Every structure is written in C-alpha cells, then in structure tokens.
C-alpha cells in the first residue's frame, strides 16, 4: 500500500504437530495499515500461523520478519507491539469492564494507566458499562471489550482470530467500523474469518486449506484468477432442477442462494451447452459475476475436497 517495509514478511513458514504438517511453507506479505483477511476451513492452520507471528509458537521451518523483527530470534521484541485477540475472548468474567481494562493495562505495563483506561473506555463507547461484570455483557459488547483490551498499549499490529464469531449483525458492522478507523490511523490488521462478506471488506486476503496457501490477493484478483463462469437461475421446483443440473458435464457447482441457484464451471462454452436444455419457460437465467464463496468452493474441489 506504500513504500514502507511490510509489517509481515515471511517465507516458507512451516509447523507440524506429532508429524502432521499444519502450516506448509507459507509465504505472505502484509503492508502497513492494511486489513488482511485470513480465510479457510477449521483446521487450516490459521491460528497456528497467527501464533507463530507473535512468538507464541516457534516455526519448524522457514522464517521472516514481523514489525521489522525476526520472528524466531527476536520474538520477545515483537510482542509489545502486537494486540492479539483470540477466538474465545480472553476476559475475566467476574471482573467489571473497567477492572478488566485496568488489569490488562497492568499486564502491558501501560504508563499513566488510569488515564489510558479512561480514554480507552471513551474511545470504544464502553462508558455505560464500566461497572458491569464482563460475564454479563452481550456477545457484541464482550467483543468490543476484548478489542479495547488489545488497544491499551497502542499496538502497531492487530492479530484477530475469528473475532466476530457468534455476535449479532449490528455488532459485526460496528466492529468493522472500528477496524477501518484503526486502519486509517495506520494500524495493520490480520483478521481470520469464515464470513465471505467480511473477506470482501479486506484490502487483500489469503485462503488456506489444511496448511496450504491456495490463493491470495484482492477479492477481485482471487475471483478473476479462478476463472469461473456463473449463471443465476430462478423458477419452479428448484431442488429438482439442482439435482438434474449437477449431473450435467461442465457443471461444477450448483449452490442455492435463497430462491436462486448459482450454476458455475470453468469452461464457459461447456457450461452454456449444459444449461441450454433447461433454458425454457418457467426458468429465468442470467449470467452473473462469480463470488468469493463459489471461488473458494472451487479451490477446495481442486484439492479433492468438498
């Protein structure tokens, strides 16, 4: 995004547990201020990769730099500049909102702690909950408090591991407003997510499957590179139509989206021939742009999965 050195720059990063490779020679660059999406099914190595970046796990192979520091030999120098938000929010549920923030500020050895805690409460809109026990907050407010805890020490990099799982749509939207605001302030974010709409909000993204990096780039680049042709069809008896379409040569995906089917394949001419017998009265067909979900399904099918 600019001429500054990448915040994350790793090459052939590898990690195995009991002989099973969970991150396989992963190379990745993330630029300053970038919101970088990290996607893939459960067990793809996303969390392991994030933990290696901030020195919580030592890689078995490869290496690189995070925030200018070597991730192996200088891991201790990386941690003070990183805000790490785990999948399950690391909150003390029997402490109040302010007590949680104050405790984490002590852990981070924040100077002028009371002032910083008060400023963070105001910045994150937590003023109405300062005395409330964290365990009694809704999922969205727990998420907001967890993010606030990550920001106390003014990190340069946020590592967010599925931070919006289990929160309502409004809380997700508010969370992304915060992420964009932080990006504008120059804070870099690596965020893992399962949500396709969130992936599209990222400046760039990478898709992992069981340790392997399958693709990376902007959403538009990832979709274009896969080269899918997609048609949308609406009409009657859609489940029956879907079953018949899946039997046709050239049809690689038939995915329901509400009352619409998305029918996709890599060979546009073969796909057009396959759907031709079904383009009759009662069905409405329209060619459309492939989306990220279809692209990722296609990538997984290419690995023999799904």
CB 209 within 8 A of CB 44: yes
Q: What is the pLDDT of residue 8?
A: 96
Assigned token pair, 55: 């020195």
Taken in order of first residue, the domains within the chain and their CATH numbers are: 8-222 (3.40.50.300), 228-289 (3.30.70.260)
| 226 burial level (CB within 10 Å; 0-12, 13-18, 19+) | buried
CA–CA separation, 221 vs 206, rounded Å?
11
Determine the distance from the C-alpha atom of residue 87 to the mean position of all C-alpha atoms in its chain, rounded to a whole number. Answer: 12
Give me the percent of the chain exceeding a pLDDT of 90.
Answer: 75
Mean pLDDT, the chain, whole residue set: 91
Query: 261: number of CA atoms within 13 Å, CB side?
Result: 25
CA–CA separation, 214 vs 268, rounded Å?
23
Number of Cβ atoms within 10 Å of the Cβ of 30: 24
CA–CA separation, 14 vs 114, rounded Å?
42
- pLDDT band at residue 1 using 50, 70 and 90 as cut-offs: very low
Q: Could you tell me the pTM of the whole model?
A: 0.89
Q: What is the pLDDT of residue 105?
A: 95
Reported as a single tens digit per residue, the pLDDT across 53-88 is 888 899 999 999 999 999 999 999 998 999 998 876
Reported as a single tens digit per residue, the pLDDT across 26-43 is 999 999 999 999 998 888
Reported as a single tens digit per residue, the pLDDT across 110-162 is 999 999 999 999 999 999 999 999 999 988 899 899 999 999 999 999 999 88
CA–CA separation, 23 vs 48, rounded Å?
7
């Amino acid at each position: 995004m600019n001429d500054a050195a990448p915040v994350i720059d790793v090459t052939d990063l590898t990690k195995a547990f009991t002989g099973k490779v969970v991150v396989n020679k992963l190379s990745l660059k993330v630029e300053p201020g970038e919101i970088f999406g990290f996607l893939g099914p459960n067990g793809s190595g996303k969390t392991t990769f994030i933990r290696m970046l901030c020195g919580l796990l030592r890689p078995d192979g490869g290496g690189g730099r995070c925030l200018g520091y070597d991730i192996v030999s200088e891991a201790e120098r990386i941690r003070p500049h990183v805000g790490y938000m785990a999948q399950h929010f690391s909150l003390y549920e029997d402490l109040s909102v302010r007590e949680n923030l104050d405790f984490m500020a002590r852990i981070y050895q924040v100077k002028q702690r009371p002032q910083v805690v008060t400023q963070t409460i105001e910045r994150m809109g937590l003023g109405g909950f300062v005395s409330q026990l964290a365990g009694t907050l809704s999922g969205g407010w727990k998420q907001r408090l967890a993010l606030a805890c990550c920001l106390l020490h003014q990190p340069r990099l946020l590592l967010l591991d599925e931070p919006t799982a289990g929160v309502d749509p409004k809380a997700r939207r508010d969370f992304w407003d915060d992420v964009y605001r932080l990006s504008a302030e120059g804070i870099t974010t690596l965020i893992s997510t399962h949500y396709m709409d969130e992936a599209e909000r990222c400046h760039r993204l990478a898709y992992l499957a069981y340790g392997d990096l399958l693709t990376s780039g902007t959403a538009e680049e990832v979709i274009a590179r896969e080269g899918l042709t997609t048609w949308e069809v609406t009409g009657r008896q859609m489940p029956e139509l879907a079953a018949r379409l899946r039997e046709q040569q050239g049809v690689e995906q038939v995915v329901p989206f509400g009352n619409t089917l998305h029918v996709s394949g890599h060979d546009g001419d073969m796909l057009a021939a396959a759907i031709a017998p079904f383009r009759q009265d009662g069905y409405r067909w329209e060619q459309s742009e492939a989306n990220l979900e279809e692209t990722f399904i296609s990538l997984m099918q290419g690995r023999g999965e799904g």
